[in-house]
Amino acid sequence: MSLGPLMIDLGADTLSVQERDLLVSPQVGGVILFSRNFTSVSGLIDLVNEIHALRHPRLLVATDQEGGRVQRFREEFTALPAIEGLGKVYDMDPQRACRLAEVTGWLMAVELRSIGIDFSFAPVLDLNFGISQVIDERSFHKNPEVVADLAVHYTRGMRRAGMQAVGKHFPGHGGVSADSHIDLPIDTRSYQDILMQDIVPFQRLIDQGIAGIMSAHVVYERIDNNVATFSRKWLGTVLRDQLGFKGVLFSDDLSMKAAACSDQYLVRTQRALEAGCDMVLICNAGEQAAQVVEQLNDYNNPVSQIRFTRMHGGKSPLSYQELHVSEAWKSAVLQVESYQNSPYEDLLI
């Protein structure tokens, strides 16, 4: 059975009968996990293993483990600092910041891979212009070259841990103040301004072969009246044709206010797929997700199937227990703590 274009969430830390039935539907291709799905590491491992055992090829299992305020699993995981801390280090010592970015990417990814999770929706490639409260500390920096530099090293660490990266939110969420979870952000800048600023990190990561990108629920009114997630111009003409992106294109969550182009989630899903998304996320809307699973019928994109294969996590060399007694893990934790406590502290790393 091929993987479908829907990524959905779960209600608790175990699968219900109804959820198990949904996950074996050909229209589902992945599961995104949240804090509510965690009660213990052993329980999370069992849940991920159960999801993976349902299908072949196995369903993709993802989460948001950026660090800072967006870290779904905290207890029994390293407390990751917000990535803006790496930008602060960069201002003082670029080489050290890049080393720390790679260590941080590795640490985030290897902890998730040790329990079987395929990937995290990270890193954030948006620029911190000091405008967006929903981005702010989640961004490396305001300078696109700094963001690109740190993101290259961060994703290098992720790959070393057996995890592919998903850069977000294309073409850039940092230039608007509104939060797309609860409002419709409208960016009034010109395409040239966005190209010379926000798109720079995306282009650099695409050139480095990034496997995944997530779209932004933002309207860039001087380019297209649709939010980027529903825009063939942004996703097809710009991202695929001009920037040369060949990986998996994920939509941001279609239950967000900015994605409410219709009350019907099937319409939202179809519009995102028609615009160029390979996989769409429907979160915190279980009834609507189930309806889309039933209504989407026999949708299949053979090109997407090829792209999905890259998102499966590589074999983790260590189990969760083995990882936490390894010298590599202990060293990485100390290095991450060094800039979490004092970004400017001059340590030999």
Among all residues, which ones are annotated catalytic?
181, 252
**60-63 and 119-120 beta bridge pairing:** parallel
CA separation for the pair 274, 260 (Å, rounded): 16
Query: Position of tokens 């609860």?
Result: 182
Query: Position of tokens 């189930």?
Result: 290
Pick the closest to residue 165 from 106, 78, 227, 115 (CA basis).
Answer: 106
Task: Give the pair of three-digit tokens for residue 196.
Answer: 């010379």
CA separation for the pair 237, 13 (Å, rounded): 41
The answer to whether the CB of 73 falls within 8 A of the CB of 120 is no
Question: If DSSP codes are grouped into helix, strand and coil, which group holds residue 253?
Answer: strand
Measured CA to CA in angstroms, residue 222 lies from 125, 128, 225, 226, 239 at distances of 22, 21, 8, 11, 17
The answer to whether the CB of 177 falls within 8 A of the CB of 185 is yes
In 86-188 the beta strands, taken as DSSP E runs, fall at 119-120, 166-170, 186-187
* Alpha helices, DSSP H, located in 161-301: 191-196, 199-207, 232, 265-275, 286-295
What type of residue is 132?
Answer: S
Work out the angle at residue 73's Cα, subtended by the Cα atoms of residues 69 and 332, and round it to the nearest 5 degrees: 85
Q: Which residues contact 43 (CB under 8 A, 6 or more apart)?
A: 13, 14
